[in-house]
Structure 1
Amino acid sequence: MAKKELSVGELSRRSGLPISTLHFYERRGLIASERTSANHRVYRREILRRVTVIKVAQSAGIPLAEISQALSQLPRDAPPDTHDWERIAASWHDDLTRRIEILTALRDKMAMCIGCGCLSVKRCPLVNADDHLANDGPGARLL
Structure 2
Amino acid sequence: MKLKKRKFVTLSIGEVAERTGIKVSAVRFYEDEGLIQAIRSEGGNRRFMRSEIRKVSFISIAQRLGFTLSEIRGELEKLPDDRAPNKKDWEKISRSFRTVLDERIAMMERLRDRLDGCIGCGCLSLQKCKLYNQDDWAAHSGFGPRWILEPRKSAD
Partner of 1:118: 125
- SS of residue in 1 equivalent to 2:116: helix
* Count of residue pairs brought into register by the alignment: 132
Q: Choose from 113, 138, 141 the match for 1:130.
A: 138
Aligned partner letter, 1:132: H
The separation in 2 between residues aligned to 1:99 and 1:32, in whole angstroms, is: 30
Per-residue deviation, 1:129: 8.2
Equivalent residue, structure 1, for 2:62: 57
Which of structure 1's runs of 4+ aligned residues deviate more than 3 A? none
Distance of 1:100 and 1:9 partners within structure 2: 34
Counterpart among 48, 68, 75 of residue 73 in structure 2:
68
Number of the residue aligned with 2:149: none
Deviation at 1:130, TM superposition (A): 2.5
Tell which structure's C-alpha radius of gyration is larger.
2
CA distance 1:100–1:3, change in 2 (3 Å): same
- The residue aligned with 1:137 is none
| In structure 2, distance between residues paired with 1:91 and 1:64 | 16
Structure 1 SS opposite 2:11: strand
In structure 1, runs of 5+ residues without a counterpart are 135-140
TM-score normalised over the length of structure 1: 0.79
Counterpart pick for 1:27 among 25, 32, 51: 32
Tell me, what secondary structure is at the counterpart of 2:115?
Answer: helix
How far off is 1:113 after superposition? 5.2
Amino-acid identity (%)? 35
CA distance in 1, matches of 2:34, 2:72: 10
Q: Does 1:46 align with 2:54?
A: no
CA deviation after TM superposition for structure 1 residue 60, in Å: 2.2
Q: Which runs of 5+ in 2 are unaligned?
A: 1-5, 146-156
